[in-house]
Structure 1
Amino acid sequence: MILNRLSILNFKNIAQADLELSSGINCFLGNNGMGKTNLLDAVYYLSFCKSSTNVIDSQNIKHEENFFMLQGYYDRDGVPEELYCGLKRKQKKQFKRNKKEYSRLSDHIGFVPLVLVSPADSELIRGGSDERRKFLDLVISQFDKDYLNTLIRYNKALAQRNALLKDEVTEASLYEIWEEQMALYGLSIYNSRKAFLQEFIPVFQEFYNYISIGSEEVKLEYTSDIAQGDLSKQLASVRDRDRILGYTTRGIHRDDLEMRLGEYPMKRIGSQGQNKTFLVALKLAQFDFLNKNGTTPILLLDDIFDKLDAHRVERIIKLVSGERFGQIFITDTNRKYLDEIIKQTGNSYHLYNVNNGNITRNKEDAL
């Protein structure tokens, strides 16, 4: 997947930009707070129909403006594709492919595969289990449409059961309807997550070992209530307790992906460099998985070199400079690492300067 041209109007602090992009590497250089991350977020938005940093759509409109607009012109395996997203305040978001509006935004997910590596990824380690489930769901739903639809159905059944609990309904038959659906959809989701991780974990460990030069052992362990047996029976057994609590305490909405350094939780003992290495390896494994299962994703690298020693930076540069990666967008405050990546690839690149939302191409440096 190649993004050839990107047009932005009133998105966050970017008033207007119209960029002709390299099919190789696109480097965005500037100080913190100038708009580099916002530029990457515009690319992300066209893949996932939402921002990676702000889920409230209207807050992505530039201050004192009434709308934003994003347009992307792609080459998807040799076929030209045009994507459009527009949002006016207090109106419904429009999302179109080749000028035809989607009836459901979920139908678009996976059409433009994309992997983002950013400082916000630290929540995967530090945050709650919901962050790690979101990671699993995001990766799997990009190549498996049935998975996303099943997840939506599970969440609807869960919401109905929670509504009964909050209303303190006692009639068992009303619960059984939704619990049977949760068990059916939950088992499908559990099997998809388990199958994905069986393929994903060895690749993740391979990347981590390469970046760290084999100096540490890392693990990912998937935990789920469904591993304990029939979910409908489990839900029936905790129904009285759940009614007191007012929410559902069993199900795939409580699954977790435990992240370990050796035998200990990464979030307890990992250094800043080890945490960053863990997250980069996780996202590169995500890229590798999507690449093997469909169109080559676009790779966004937002300020990834901070907190890493020179050896780890060098290993990451060698990885992303390899043939297995396609179009790359990189941001940094220091040009040193960008120049190293460019030098190693020998591929075409564009270098941009970003200053207070203004994006200008440095044509003297570009190939």
Structure 2
Amino acid sequence: MYIKKVSLENYRNYEKIEVDFDKNVNLILGENAQGKTNLIESIYMASFGKSFRTSKDREVICFDKDYCRIKVDYFKYDDEGTVEIYIGKDGKKGIKADGIHVKRVSQLVENILCVIFSPEDLKIVKEEPSKRRSFIDRELCQLRVKYMDSLSRYKKILLQRNTYLKEKNPDKNIIKVWDEQLLNTGTDIIKDRKEFISKINIISGEIHNKITDGKEKLVISYDPDISEEGTEDEIKKRFSKILEESLNKDIYSGSTSRGPHKDDMKITVDGKDARKYCSQGQQRTAALSLKLAEIFLIKEEKEESPVLLLDDVLSELDSERQKFLINSLDDVQVFITATEIPDEVMKSLPGGKVLNVKKGSLI
């Protein structure tokens, strides 16, 4: 698939702009704070319904304006499609896919397949578990609509349970009602994460082997808070027992201490914990392998290539990893934001389009 055109109105520092893109490579160049990332952020929003930079929708509205609009035209499965998003400062938000109102984000994510790779993603390996959970969830939400629904329900139930736990003298029988709901959605999440990590382990391991010329072995494994072993019923019984054993602690602390919201993903290189014992270069190679594995897994499961958004990430990689990344992207539309592109990388890029951005305008 590829993005054909983006139209923005009152979005970030763009008052009104319409941009046609090349189906292969799009270089978006300019100094910092000129609007390069804003362009690819709008594509991401059309894919996921939210920004990768902020959790507050109103922050994407142009200063002193009451609303913003995003329209993204794309081509996928030999057909054309359009996603439109309206965001108002009054909190109103509307999303349309091919002119039809989208009521749930899970109805949106299958339209535009998109992978973002930014300097933040290079921290997946070494930072806290929440970064790795976000990596897992973002990918799975694109691959399986059912997973996004399960995750959304789980988070709502968890919030309700945690809110009630903070009340004075909470009734344990009422808490158990939420526990039953957590068991069902939580078990579904555990099963999907287990399968996803098993697949991403194989693909990222093969990529990592190529990057390192077979000198290092990358292994990705699931580190669940509730063991994923056994049947669905066995996982539920285990989860139920743990919630029961943790109840007094949860009431005391006012939060749910156990469950998939505490999951992690282990990353090892040659048997060593990459977070603790690997060099920065090794950590970045592992992160690059994971991000490329995302692309190949989407291709495999959706039979369509996603769009890749490279947000100022090339400058964070050495020349060898830059070349490997670029050479791995056959049949993938790429958007690259940067202040400048090294000549060596430019030579390895197929033909494309160069967009120079200055103060929210193309020059």
Compute the TM-score of the two structures, normalised by the length of structure 1: 0.90
1:56-97, Cα deviation, whole Å (9 max, x unpaired): 111111222222211111112122111111212113111111
Give unmatched runs, 5+ long, in structure 1.
361-367
Q: Which residue of 2 aligns with 1:364?
A: none
Tell me, in whole angstroms, the C-alpha distance in 1 between the residues paired with 2:125 and 2:12: 28
Deviation at 1:337, TM superposition (A): 4.8
Q: Does 1:306 align with 2:315?
A: yes
Deviation at 1:356, TM superposition (A): 2.1
Q: Does 1:199 align with 2:212?
A: no
Amino acid at match of 1:288: F
Judge conservation of contact 1:11–1:68 (CA < 8 Å) in 2.
yes
Q: Which residue of 2 aligns with 1:150?
A: 150
1:140-197, Cα deviation, whole Å (9 max, x unpaired): 1112111111122222222232233211445332222211221222111111110111
Amino acid at match of 1:21: F
Tell me, in whole angstroms, the C-alpha distance in 1 between the residues paired with 2:279 and 2:74: 39
DSSP 3-state at the match of 2:314? coil
Judge conservation of contact 1:218–1:262 (CA < 8 Å) in 2.
yes
DSSP 3-state at the match of 1:190? helix
Query: Which range moved further: 125-134 or 232-241?
Result: 125-134
Query: Which range moved further: 240-249 or 144-153?
Result: 144-153
Judge conservation of contact 1:220–1:260 (CA < 8 Å) in 2.
yes
Judge conservation of contact 1:129–1:256 (CA < 8 Å) in 2.
yes
Q: Which residue of 1 aligns with 2:334?
A: 328
Deviation at 1:11, TM superposition (A): 1.6
Amino acid at match of 1:298: V
Q: Which runs of 4 or more aligned residues in structure 1 lie more than 4 Å from their structure 2 counterparts after TM superposition?
A: none
Judge conservation of contact 1:141–1:147 (CA < 8 Å) in 2.
yes
Q: Does 1:349 align with 2:352?
A: yes
Judge conservation of contact 2:126–2:283 (CA < 8 Å) in 1.
no
1:108-151, Cα deviation, whole Å (9 max, x unpaired): 12221100111121342343222211211111111211111112
DSSP 3-state at the match of 1:293? helix
1:188-209, Cα deviation, whole Å (9 max, x unpaired): 1111110111111111111122
Tell me, in whole angstroms, the C-alpha distance in 2 between the residues paired with 1:309 and 1:89: 42
Tell me, in whole angstroms, the C-alpha distance in 2 between the residues paired with 1:225 and 1:301: 32
Amino acid at match of 1:315: F
Query: Which range moved further: 37-46 or 228-237?
Result: 228-237
1:297-318, Cα deviation, whole Å (9 max, x unpaired): 1111122222433222222222
Q: Which residue of 1 aligns with 2:62?
A: 62
Structure 1 residues 35 and 274 mapped into 2: Cα distance closer, same or farther (>3 Å)?
A: farther
Amino acid at match of 2:171: E
Compute the TM-score of the two structures, normalised by the length of structure 2: 0.91
Aligned counterparts, 1:29-68, within 5 A: 29-68=29-68
Give unmatched runs, 5+ long, in structure 2.
229-234
Query: Which range moved further: 159-168 or 67-76?
Result: 159-168
Equivalenced residue count is: 353
1:232-290, Cα deviation, whole Å (9 max, x unpaired): 11100111111111111111111111223334433334434333322221111011111
DSSP 3-state at the match of 1:80? strand
Identity %: 28
Aligned counterparts, 1:275-286, within 5 A: 275-286=283-294
Judge conservation of contact 2:198–2:221 (CA < 8 Å) in 1.
no
Amino acid at match of 1:353: N
